[in-house]
Amino acid sequence: MVDACFGHPRLAALYDPLDPDRGDLDAYLRMAEEFAARRVLDIGCGTGVFALLLAGRGIEVVGLDPAGASLEVARGRPGGERVRWIHGDATALPPLRADLATMTGNVAQAIADPDIWQETLRRVYASLRPGGRLVFETRDPARRGWEEWNREDSYVAADVPGVGVVESWHEVTDVSLPLVTFRTTYVFAADGEVLTSRSTLRFRERREAEADLLAHGYVIDDVRDAPDRPGREFVFVARRPGEGHG
């Protein structure tokens, strides 16, 4: 099931205005350049920010997301016609020979169901050309990042053009590791509407993620630090072996 923050039209339209700093994508842009990627699969592309950055560099991009409301935002962005948008999860992937597949932000952790995660890794492997890479990040559970997901630390009141002031905050509702569930509340000053979104993330240990990748035939080239959040996340660089290794 798609979280309301991505699937509800009113909330999907707010996703970027409430979190405008996407400096976390810089590292992925550098990796696309590092690996000379000409065809990229952006898994969990959401409102299309990263996909359109890639397309603006002349890269062929397929953006995949199960949230139709987020994809509508993506399609409506300037340059949206440059990207091939697909509504669905990894089971909806057509035959591809991608140089690079990415899961930016919380995408990998949001695939909390173990069976769906395994199927995603299998399908992505099949969509990569030999030598193509999968790159994704996941928070280090040892850092216990969810302890900062409370109203005091996460409260934001943003004046969104055309919408008005929107208040939002996070509250953890359950910690049953490796799963953490939290609720995000949105309050619209213009009409008083209150919307909530419930999300569950899986905090994978490094060894768990490595074992999953190896079980599906990937070679792990590197496990990097997230440059914008040093010491807080693992960034996995995995490769489908075979000819074309660059």
What is the structure's pLDDT at 227?
83
In contact, 47 and 73? CB cutoff 8 Å: yes
Starting at the edge strand that comes first in sequence, how are the strands of the sheet with 194-202 ordered? 156-160, 164-176, 179-188, 194-202
SS3 for 21? coil
For residue 173, give the nearest of 201, 209, 214 by alpha carbon. 201
pTM above 0.85, yes or no: yes
Q: Six-digit token pair at 151? A: 């109203």
What is the structure's pLDDT at 229?
85
Question: Could you tell me the CA-to-CA distances from 49 to 17, 73, 238 in Å, in that order?
Answer: 12, 10, 23
Measured in degrees and rounded to the nearest 5, phi and psi for residue 245 equal -60, 115
What is the structure's pLDDT at 232?
93
Residue spans of the chain under pLDDT 50: none
What is the structure's pLDDT at 33?
97
* 4-141+204-239 placed in CATH 3.40.50.150: yes
DSSP output for 64-97 = EES-HHHHHHHHTSTTGGGSEEEES-GGGPPS--
Q: Six-digit token pair at 8? A: 């509800």
Question: Could you tell me the CA-to-CA distances from 56 to 48, 49, 63, 119, 209 in Å, in that order?
Answer: 12, 11, 14, 31, 32
List the chain domain ranges: 4-141+204-239, 143-202
For residue 59, give the nearest of 42, 78, 72 by alpha carbon. 42
A 10 A CB-CB count for 165 gives 12
